[in-house]
Amino acid sequence: MKQVIVVRRELKMSKGKTAAQCCHACLGAYEKTNPEKIKEWKNGGQAKVITRVDTLEELLKVQEQAKINKLPNYLVVDQGKTELPPSTVTCLGIGPDKDEKIDKLTKSLKLLS
């Protein structure tokens, strides 16, 4: 079991902003997850992987695949109070769910560095 967060790298958010947006994605997807899967994920160490894409279009394609595959997901839209204009889509949280299901969508994505 794991959760994957997909971040839009081209926004060039500060490290703090990126961390905050990843937290929004984590909690948003978590809240949409079946309680049994949450329990299994918690018991397994709550694995999280942070990946990146280069465009909004790439991020939305991953989200569409998450929906098609019935994976819990949450798209983060920033309020624009600090670094970004209002309504900027920053990242996507997927899961927690089975590794195999999430890997189908995210295994080709590079880790955020």
Give the CATH number, domain containing residue 37: 3.40.1490.10
Residue 100: give the domain boundaries: 2-111
**pLDDT tens by residue, 23-82:** 999 999 999 999 999 999 999 999 999 999 999 999 999 999 999 999 999 999 999 999
Cβ atoms of residues 70 and 97 within 8 Å: no
Contacts for 88 with CB less than 8 Å, ≥ 6 apart: 11, 77, 78, 80
The reply to whether the predicted model has a pTM over 0.75 is yes
> What's the gap between Cα 12 and its chain centre?
17
Number of domains forming the structure of the chain: 1
DSSP 109: S
Residue keyed to tokens 């890997």: 103
